[in-house]
């Protein structure tokens, strides 16, 4: 029997100077400081934030409070194996995810108390929704209305893809990220395969399939994601769209159900075509052709190889699952040091149905590049192309 090669090592944050180390050592403390300043928190919250700051800098992973509502779940997700170890020595994916869980504890998000349910990142998300750039992006929809269907489809797919640059956690630690120019040529582009997985425009209603969309950030990413969903429903290329968001605030700007409502309100209040799309999406939620789900696993510190049975069944039944963003990409292919030419189809073979990744590159993980693409990127930028947020990809495993 042929030996299956062992997968490459899981990424840790233990190497000073590496990207993951910088996220743990610098970005997380910066996020704590921003959150602290964003609300008139009481002394107990300040005290808890101080403790988290101290723990992040030189401490070890501490257990959840004994009465935490999700203690059993986190134990299933590997808490016992991480408690007592340095944040830098456990898998980076786990460490980052647990940081956000602890941050929510520190600000009293899970209550009881006055801060229960208050999203510590909401002021940043709302500021982005109110930004003039959002108005410009929505106004551009008017001109798109009269374009041929294929051009509209491409524009909306690319809107959703590049919307992934709008990631507040990323911009926080990399202040130049928003001003760096994106490189329009994709490092991998399976868009044609993606469209071929969906029926042509307007099939009989009972043949129109389900598309799952695993969303990433709120605001300027979620709006184009919703517009893509609206397009799929309006053209009949999907009969139903299931939008997966996070059950609670996560990675600063990740979308929650509240953010979906905010984005829809923003759309319906805008002038022109945007409002029409917003109204259709609102109606789609009412008639069930658009569904929002906030599954606990969406904020799990684990790769998608660990999908629970209900999600496996759901994705198995979809004509296509769209996986948005960098973090979801890491979870999809595994947060490992893959050689960049590792076939995307191989590392996603386990996924229960056809899957497409739409991602701008903001961490070291990458698969599915041709040798020529990789060497061209390295020649031009060293390894910066992996993390700078200027490159993007569309990868599909039918
Ligand atoms: O919003 P996205 O595209 O998932 O990006 C978030 C990314 O930011 C990071 O926190 C650092 O780049 C990664 O852990 C994560 O992959």
Residue 3: Cβ within 10 Å count: 5
Parent domain of 56? 19-118
Residue 365 reports pLDDT greater than 90 = yes
Residue 222 placed within a domain: yes
- Residues 147 and 185 grouped into a single domain: yes
Cα distances (angstroms) measured from residue 228 to each of 47, 157, 281, 332: 43, 6, 11, 21
- Residues 60 and 155 grouped into a single domain: no
Cis peptide before 178 (omega within 30 of 0): no
Residue 107 placed within a domain: yes
CA-wise closest residue to 363 among 384, 342, 393: 384
Q: Is the CB of 169 under 6 A from ligand 1?
A: yes
Q: Is the CB of 225 under 6 A from ligand 1?
A: no
Residue 13 placed within a domain: no
Query: From the CA of 165, how far away is ligand 1's center (Å)?
Result: 10
In this predicted model, what pLDDT tens digit does every residue of 173-220 receive, in sequence order?
Answer: 555 666 677 778 899 999 999 999 999 877 777 778 999 999 999 999
Residue labelled with tokens 């696993």: 297
Number of independent structural domains in the chain: 2
- Residues 76 and 168 grouped into a single domain: no
DSSP-H helix ranges across the chain: 19-22, 28-38, 43-58, 71-76, 79-82, 92-106, 122-129, 132-144, 149-163, 168-173, 191-196, 222-235, 257-268, 273-287, 309-316, 325-333, 344-347, 371-381
Mutational pocket test of ligand 1: of 167, 323, 359, 385, the residue with most ligand atoms within 8 Å of the beta carbon = 167
Integer Cα distance of 200 and 196 in angstroms = 8
Q: Is the CB of 120 under 6 A from ligand 1?
A: no
- Is the pTM higher than 0.90? The answer reads yes
- Residues 114 and 143 grouped into a single domain: no
Residue 335 reports pLDDT greater than 70 = yes
pLDDT for position 198: 96
Integer Cα distance of 57 and 304 in angstroms = 29
Q: What is the CATH number of the domain that holds 243?
A: 3.40.50.10880
- Residues 52 and 180 grouped into a single domain: no
pLDDT for position 2: 54
Neighbouring residues of 4: CB distance < 8 A, sequence distance ≥ 6: none
Task: Say if strands 188-189 and 392-397 run parallel, antiparallel, or are unpaired.
Answer: parallel
Comparing 239 with 5, the larger pLDDT belongs to 239
State both tokens at 290: 């658009």
- Residues 265 and 322 grouped into a single domain: yes
Residue 262 placed within a domain: yes
Q: Is the CB of 326 under 6 A from ligand 1?
A: yes
Query: From the CA of 375, how far away is ligand 1's center (Å)?
Result: 24
Q: Mean pLDDT check: name the lowest of 56-65, 262-271, 325-334, 354-363.
A: 56-65
State both tokens at 395: 């990868």
- Looking from the CA of residue 363, the nearest atom of ligand 1 is 12
Atom 15, ligand 1: residue with shortest CA distance: 327
**Which of 51, 84, 118 is the last residue in one of the domains?**
118
Query: From the CA of 1, how far away is ligand 1's center (Å)?
Result: 39
Q: What is the CATH number of the domain that holds 50?
A: 1.20.930
- Looking from the CA of residue 360, the nearest atom of ligand 1 is 3
Residue 385 placed within a domain: yes
Q: Could you give the percent of the chain with pLDDT greater than 90?
A: 89
- Residues 113 and 179 grouped into a single domain: no
What ipTM does this complex have? Answer: 0.96
């Amino acid at each position: 029997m042929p030996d299956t090669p062992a997968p490459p090592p899981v990424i840790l944050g233990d190497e000073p100077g590496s990207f993951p180390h910088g996220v743990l050592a610098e970005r997380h403390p910066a996020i704590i400081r921003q959150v602290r300043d964003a609300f008139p928190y009481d002394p107990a919250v300040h005290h808890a934030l101080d403790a988290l700051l101290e723990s992040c800098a030189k401490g070890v992973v501490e257990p959840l409070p004994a009465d935490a509502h999700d203690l059993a779940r986190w134990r299933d997700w590997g808490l016992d194996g991480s408690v007592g170890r340095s944040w830098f020595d456990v898998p980076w994916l786990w460490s980052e995810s647990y940081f956000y869980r602890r941050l929510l504890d520190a600000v009293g998000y899970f209550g009881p108390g006055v801060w229960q349910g208050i999203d510590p990142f909401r002021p940043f998300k709302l500021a982005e929704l109110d930004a003039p750039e959002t108005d410009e992006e929505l106004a551009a929809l008017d001109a798109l209305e009269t374009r041929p269907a294929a051009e509209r489809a491409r524009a909306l797919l690319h809107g959703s893809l590049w919307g992934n640059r709008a990631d507040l956690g990323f911009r926080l630690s990399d202040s130049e990220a928003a001003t760096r120019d994106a490189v329009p040529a994709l490092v991998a582009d399976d868009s044609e395969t993606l469209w071929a997985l969906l029926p042509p425009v307007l099939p009989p209603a009972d043949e129109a399939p389900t598309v799952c969309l695993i969303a990433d950030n709120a605001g300027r990413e979620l709006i184009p994601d919703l517009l893509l969903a609206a397009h799929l429903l309006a053209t009949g290329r999907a009969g139903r769209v299931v939008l997966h968001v996070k059950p609670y605030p996560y990675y600063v700007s990740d979308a929650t159900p509240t953010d979906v409502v905010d984005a829809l309100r923003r759309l319906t209040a805008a002038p022109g075509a945007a409002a029409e799309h917003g109204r259709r999406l609102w109606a789609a939620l009412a008639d069930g052709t658009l569904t929002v789900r906030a599954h606990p696993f969406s904020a799990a510190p684990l790769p998608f190889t660990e999908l629970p049975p209900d999600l496996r069944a759901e994705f198995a039944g979809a004509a296509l699952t769209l996986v948005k963003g960098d973090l979801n990409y890491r979870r999809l292919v595994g947060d490992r040091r893959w050689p960049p030419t590792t076939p995307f189809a191989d590392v996603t073979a386990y996924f229960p149905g056809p899957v497409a990744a739409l991602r701008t590159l903001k961490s070291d993980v990458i698969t599915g590049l041709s040798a020529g693409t990789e060497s061209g990127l390295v020649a031009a930028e060293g390894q910066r192309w992996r993390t700078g947020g200027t490159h993007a990809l569309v990868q599909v495993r039918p």
